A and B are shown apart, each in its own frame.
Chain A
C-alpha cells in the first residue's frame, strides 16, 4: 500500500516539523509548560467563552472589555452551550476563560459535596478543579435559587427569612421545577433545615412567567426563582433570607485555563470581580429582557464605563 505509506511519511515529517518549530518559538501561547512571565500581557490574546443564556454572555463581554481596556487582546465566543460543552472547549484550548458559578461548578466536579456557604464552596472548588484550570476571586454577585413571597404575604405573616416560615399558620406550597421535590435545597431541605412542611406545586418553567403568575394569584405562597431574575424586583417580591445556608452558594467566578492566567490578567479580572454585585446582574438582565433588549456587548460596555474601574 504505497499510497498509505507516503501519507504516513508525510504526516510524520509534518509532525517533526511542527515540533521543531514549537521548540524554536519560546512564546508559544498554546504550550501549557511555557513559564509565565509576570507583569505584561504574555500568552497572546484571550478567548472568553460563555454559556447559552444572556447573563453569562454579558459577563463574558464584561471580562473581554476589561481585558481590552488594559491592553490585553480579548475576544468573545458567546452561546457555546451547556457546561460540559464549554468545559470541553476550555480543555481543548478553543476558549481560555469562562464566567462560572461556584456552586454549580463545584457540583460538576464533586457531585457529593456538602459545602453550602460561599466560603466553603469556594474553598472546596479550588481543590476540586482539574489540573490546568483555576478560578480567580469570587464576586459578591450570586445567581442562585431563591425562595420568594409576595410583599403582602411577607407583611401579613411577618416573614422575611426561611426561618420565619415555621410560624405561618396556613399550609404552604411552593411553585418550582419538579426536581424541587427531591433536591436538598427543595422540599426535603426546607423540612430538615428549617422544620417547615411545604408541598410542591410543579411548574416546569424554571421560575419563569407561569411560576410568577401562580405566586401573584395566590395559588402558591412561595416560588423558586433565580435570584437575578428581573421579575423579583418588578413585582416587589420579597426574597427570603437563608441564614442556615439551605441553598448552595452560586457566586460568579472566572474559570480560566492556568496557562493564560498571568498576574496582569488576574489583576484585571479580580478588579471586575470586586465591583460586581447581584444588583448589577439584575440590572443587566433587566436591560437584556423585555422592551429594552439591548445587546450583551452593549450592556457590558455600559457597566464597565459606569463603574470606572480602569483609568
Chain B
C-alpha cells in the first residue's frame, strides 16, 4: 500500500498549495467556517448553559432536547436546509451550529454543577449576590469544564465541516468531494490528513488554554488527592438554591 505515500506526495507538491483552490486557501476557509460557527454556537449556548448550571432550572427541558440534537445527521440536515436556503454557506452554517450547541451547553452546566456546594454556600454566607457568585466563584472554578465543552465542539466542527462540500462550499471537504467521483484517492487521503492535522493542532491549543485557565487551587487539588467525592457524573442533580 503506497496510498499514504501518494497522499503525502500530493501534499508535498508545491503546485497544490497556492491559488483560490489550493491547500492554503482551503485551510483558511476551513478555519474561518469553524471559527464563525464556534462563535455563533458560543453566543447561543454559553449563556443558556450558565443559566441552567447556576439556577439548576431548565435542565430537565434543555438536556434531553440537546441530546436529541446530537442525533441529527449533519449531512442530511445540510441537504434539507439547502432545499430552502439554497446551495450557499447558510445551510451548512446552521447545521453545524446545531452540531456545536450540545457540547458547549453540557460543558457549561456540568462545569457549574461540579463546583463544590460548600464553596457556593460559603460565598452566599459572606453576602455575595447571585451575579457575584456566578462570575467570581462558579465560572472561574468551572472554567476547565466549560473550555472542555468548547474544545469538543471545535473538534467536531473541524471534522464535520467537510460534509458541507456536498454543496458549493469551500473548505477542506472540497478535496474529498472533488476527488471521490474521479477516484483520485491520493487527493482524498491528503484532504483527510489535512483535516486530522488541523483537528490535532486545535485540540493541542485548547489543551494548553484549558491548563492555563484552571485555577491554581483546583490544579493543586488535582495534583494531590481529591478533597471530596466528585460530583461530576451527575452534575445537575442534588439540591440547588436559586
In the complex, how many angstroms separate the beta carbon of B78 from the nearest chain A beta carbon?
9
CA distance A178 to B166 in the complex (A): 9
Number of residues of chain B lying within 8 A (CB) of chain A = 16
Q: Is the CB of A219 within 8 A of B83?
A: no
Is there contact, CB below 8 Å, between A209 and B83? yes
CB distance from B119 to the nearest CB of A (A): 53
Chain A residue numbers with a CB within 8 Å of B165 are 202, 204
Contacts of A201 on B, CB cut-off 8 Å? 87, 168
Whether A166 is near chain B, meaning CB under 8 Å from some CB there, is no
- Chain A interface, number of residues (Cβ within 8 angstroms): 17
Give CA–CA (A179, B178) in the complex, Å.
Answer: 7
A219 near B88: Cβ-Cβ < 8 Å: yes
CB neighbours (8 Å) of B180 from chain A are 178
**Contact among B167, B174, B181, B182 with A210 in the assembled complex (CB-CB below 8 Å):** B167
Q: Is the CB of B181 within 8 A of A179?
A: yes
Query: Measured between alpha carbons, how far is A175 from B87 in the docked complex, in Å?
Result: 10
B84, closest chain A residue (CB): A213
Please, how many angstroms separate the alpha-carbon atoms of A181 and B82 in the complex?
Answer: 22
Task: Tell whether, in the assembled complex, residue A203 and residue B86 are in contact, meaning their CB atoms are under 8 Å apart.
Answer: no
**Chain A 180-214, CB within 8 Å of chain B: the 1/0 string?**
01100000000000000000011111000110011
Q: Is B181 a contact partner of A177 (Cβ separation < 8 A)?
A: yes
**Is residue A217 within 8 Å, beta carbon to beta carbon, of the partner chain?**
yes
CA of A201 to CA of B89, assembled, Å: 13
- Decide: A202 and B82 in contact? CB cutoff 8 A: no
**Contact indicator A219/B181 (Cβ below 8 Å):** no
Q: Is the CB of A178 within 8 A of B177?
A: yes
Give the distance to chain A from B104, nearest Cβ to Cβ, in Å. Answer: 29
Question: Of the candidates B86, B177, B182, which one forms a contact with A202 in the assembled complex, judged by CB atoms under 8 Å apart?
Answer: B177
Report how far A219 CA is from B82 CA in the complex, Å: 12
Partner of A204 from B83, B86, B177, B182 at Cβ < 8 Å: B177
B31 proximal to A (CB < 8 A): no
Question: B177–A213 contact, CB under 8 A?
Answer: no
Whether A219 pairs with B86 at a CB distance below 8 angstroms is: yes
B177 and A210: CB pair below 8 A?
Answer: no
- Tell me the complex Cα distance, A64–B182, Å: 35
Given known A210-B83, A213-B86, A219-B86, contact A203–B178 (CB-CB < 8 A): no
B178 touches A210 (CB 8 A): no
CB contacts under 8 Å to B, within A200-256, are: 201-205, 209-210, 213-214, 217, 219
- Contact (Cβ within 8 A) B168 A181: no
A202 to B179, CA, bound (A): 12
Other-chain contact of A203, B87, B174, B181, B182 (Cβ < 8 Å): B87
A-B pairs with CB below 8 Å: how many? 50
B88 touches A203 (CB 8 A): no
Contacts of A178 in B (CB 8 A): 177-178, 180-182
Interface residues of B in 128-178 (CB under 8 A from A): 165-168, 174, 177-178
B79 at the interface (CB under 8 A from A): yes
- Taken residue by residue from 60 to 86, chain B's Cβ proximity to chain A (1 for < 8 Å, 0 otherwise) reads as 000000000000000000010011001
B168 contact set on A, CB distance < 8 A: 175, 201-203, 214, 219
Contact between A179 and B86, CB atoms less than 8 A apart: no
Q: Within the assembled complex, what's the spacing in Å between the Cα atoms of A175 and B166?
A: 12
- Contacts of A217 on B, CB cut-off 8 Å? 86
List residues 137-165 of chain A with CB under 8 A from any CB of chain B. Answer: none
- Contact across chains for B178 and A202 when beta carbons are under 8 A apart: yes
Partner among A204, A209, A214 whose Cβ is within 8 Å of the Cβ of B166: A204
Q: Are B88 and A210 in contact (CB under 8 A)?
A: no
A191 to chain B, nearest CB (A): 18
Task: State the CA gap A196–B195 with chains docked (Å).
Answer: 36
Taken together as a complex, chains A and B put the C-alpha atoms of A210 and B82 apart, in Å, by 7
Minimum distance in angstroms from A178 CB to a CB of chain B: 4
* Minimal beta-carbon separation of B123 from chain A (angstroms): 53
Residues of A within 8 Å of B167, CB to CB, are: 202-204, 210
> Which of B86, B174, B180 has most A Cβ within 10 Å?
B86
7 intermolecular pairs with C-beta atoms under 8 Å apart: A177-B181, A182-B182, A203-B166, A209-B83, A213-B82, A214-B168, A219-B87
**19 further interface pairs, Cβ-Cβ under 8 Å (given A175-B87, A178-B177, A202-B165):** A175-B168, A178-B181, A178-B182, A202-B168, A202-B177, A203-B87, A203-B166, A203-B168, A204-B165, A204-B177, A205-B79, A205-B166, A209-B83, A210-B82, A210-B167, A213-B86, A213-B87, A217-B86, A219-B88
Residues of A within 8 A of B (CB): 175, 177-179, 181-182, 201-205, 209-210, 213-214, 217, 219
A-B residue pairs, 4 tightest by C-beta: A179-B181, A201-B168, A178-B178, A214-B87
